[in-house]
């Protein structure tokens, strides 16, 4: 039975204003959160669209004058964050309203986080208890407004930032990076082109799938992951084919947020291999995840076979693991995902060894169901490059 999302308020894991038209409530939400002079952080593409003007108008109606910085890169870097932080400091801002896809949300959260820190950003990478090094009182509050349905960064406590000198994607983490309010308005995703709808949707699927398969114990996240996968199955192809289907768009926004909640349980090789490919070749993160997905499923099968059999049963797919894998392959083809990294624009396999070395130290590698090694990481890259399942 298809879910029909309406207007509702959520308090897990943060306050979420969900439903069509909720962007109009941004000003009152910011006022209620104590925002006095926020900086809107977004990307150059969104700067040309009405959503930024709508956001500014809503804030102004609540008596809040906001600044705007619209230079977030598709894969934000340390210098990109520093540039935004310079504008934040010079403008005397006290908060951030991050509007956009995962890049804008991650960059906005990083700017708010770094606004009160004196140590380098990399001192707060998501390793052990490094987050405790931060001056928690100096972290500015964030309101997140996603305009895509993929990363789930709007309900996450971290940001992914590329370290330019090593081309590594690093996860910067602190509990207070969680937005104080999130506005999930599916009307903001209606204009998203089919290619980006497909890529961001597959990112949401990858989050839910890897979280469900991770070997850690977290039944709440596991249950959320299963429902997120079901929502993707029933809505992603529709959202790609008909971007004005507000129910499909709303359900995909739900799936994206659910994926980010679920991956508290862990991620895996899809992400740990996607991160270095994205940083080295600037490929779209969700599309890169989508390309890797069936190859990683095959490698992990000895450890996840029973879980995927169960998942196939829940989703009404016949044939257990093969049925689920067949659905993934069919969905990718239907929505225009390339079968290979070569088809995604990776020119050759010359960096296979480098990518394997980067993958095994990626923070997401530790919860892959099958231990990730240089050998099997390289084999996965080569399989996905050539299309050999």
DSSP string, 324-388: HHHHHHHHHHHHT--SSHHHHT---STTHHHHHHHHHHSGGGGG-SS---HHHHHHHHHHHHHT-
Question: Range of 254's domain?
Answer: 193-386
**Which class for 130: exposed (0-12), middle (13-18), buried (19 or more C-beta within 10 A)?**
middle
Rounded to two decimals, what is the model's pTM?
A: 0.94
And the tokens for 214? 């991770």
* CATH number for the domain harbouring residue 345: 1.20.1090.10
Q: How many domains does the chain have?
A: 2
171 and 200 inside one domain: no
Final residue belonging to a domain, choices 158, 188, 218: 188
Query: Does residue 2 fall inside a structural domain?
Result: no
Query: Does residue 276 fall inside a structural domain?
Result: yes
245 and 354 inside one domain: yes
* CATH number for the domain harbouring residue 96: 3.40.50.1970
Kindly report, residue by residue over 125-161, the tens digit of the pLDDT. Answer: 999 999 999 999 999 999 999 999 999 999 999 999 9
Residue 2 in this model has a pLDDT that exceeds 70 = no
Which is nearest to 97 in space by CA: 136, 52, 130?
52
Band (pLDDT 50/70/90 cuts) for residue 4 is confident
Final residue belonging to a domain, choices 170, 188, 206: 188
What's 187's DSSP letter?
Answer: G
Exposure class string for 177-207: b at 16+ Cβ within 10 A, else e: bbbbbbbbbbbbbbebeeebbbbbbbbbbbb
User: What is the maximum alpha-carbon separation in the chain?
Assistant: 60
Kindly report, residue by residue over 104-135, the tens digit of the pLDDT. Answer: 999 999 999 999 999 999 999 999 999 999 99
pLDDT at 8: 72
180 and 231 inside one domain: no
Kindly report, residue by residue over 342-380, the tens digit of the pLDDT. Answer: 999 999 999 999 999 999 999 999 999 999 999 999 999
278 and 367 inside one domain: yes
Phi-psi region at 345: left, alpha or beta (left = phi > 0; alpha = psi -120 to 50): left
And the tokens for 275? 């991160």
């Amino acid at each position: 039975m298809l879910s029909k999302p309406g207007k509702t308020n959520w308090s897990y894991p943060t306050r979420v204003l969900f439903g069509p038209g909720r962007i109009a409530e941004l000003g009152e939400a910011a006022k209620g959160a104590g925002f006095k002079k926020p900086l809107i952080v977004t990307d150059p593409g969104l700067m040309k669209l009405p959503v930024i003007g709508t956001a500014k108008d809503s804030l102004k109606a609540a008596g809040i004058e906001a600044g705007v910085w619209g230079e977030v890169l598709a894969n934000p870097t340390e210098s990109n964050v520093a540039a935004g932080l310079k504008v934040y400091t010079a403008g005397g801002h006290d908060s951030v309203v991050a509007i956009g896809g995962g890049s804008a949300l991650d960059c906005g959260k990083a700017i708010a986080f770094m606004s009160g820190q004196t140590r380098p950003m990399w001192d707060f990478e998501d390793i052990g208890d490094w987050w405790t090094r931060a001056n928690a009182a100096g972290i500015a509050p964030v309101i997140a407004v996603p305009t895509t349905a993929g990363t789930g960064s709007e309900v996450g406590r971290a940001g992914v930032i590329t370290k330019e000198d090593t081309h590594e994607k690093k996860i910067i983490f602190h509990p207070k990076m969680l937005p104080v309010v999130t506005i999930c308005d599916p009307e903001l995703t209606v204009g998203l082109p089919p290619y980006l709808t497909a890529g961001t949707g597959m990112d949401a699927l990858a989050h839910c799938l890897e979280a469900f398969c991770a070997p850690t114990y977290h039944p709440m996240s596991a249950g959320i992951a299963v429902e997120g996968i079901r929502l993707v199955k029933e809505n992603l192809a529709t959202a790609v084919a008909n971007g004005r289907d507000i129910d499909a768009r709303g359900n995909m926004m739900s799936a994206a947020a659910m994926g980010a909640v679920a991956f508290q349980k862990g991620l895996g090789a899809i992400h740990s291999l996607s991160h270095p490919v994205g940083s080295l070749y600037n490929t779209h993160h969700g599309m890169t995840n989508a390309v890797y997905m069936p190859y990683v499923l095959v490698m992990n099968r000895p450890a996840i076979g029973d879980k995927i059999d169960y998942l196939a049963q829940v989703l009404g797919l016949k044939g257990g693991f093969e049925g689920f894998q067949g659905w993934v392959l069919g969905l990718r083809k239907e929505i225009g995902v390339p079968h290979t990294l070569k088809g995604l624009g990776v020119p050759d396999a010359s960096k296979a060894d480098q990518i394997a070395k980067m993958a095994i130290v990626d923070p997401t590698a530790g919860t892959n169901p099958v231990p990730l090694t240089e050998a099997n990481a390289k084999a996965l890259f080569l399989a996905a490059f050539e299309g050999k399942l």
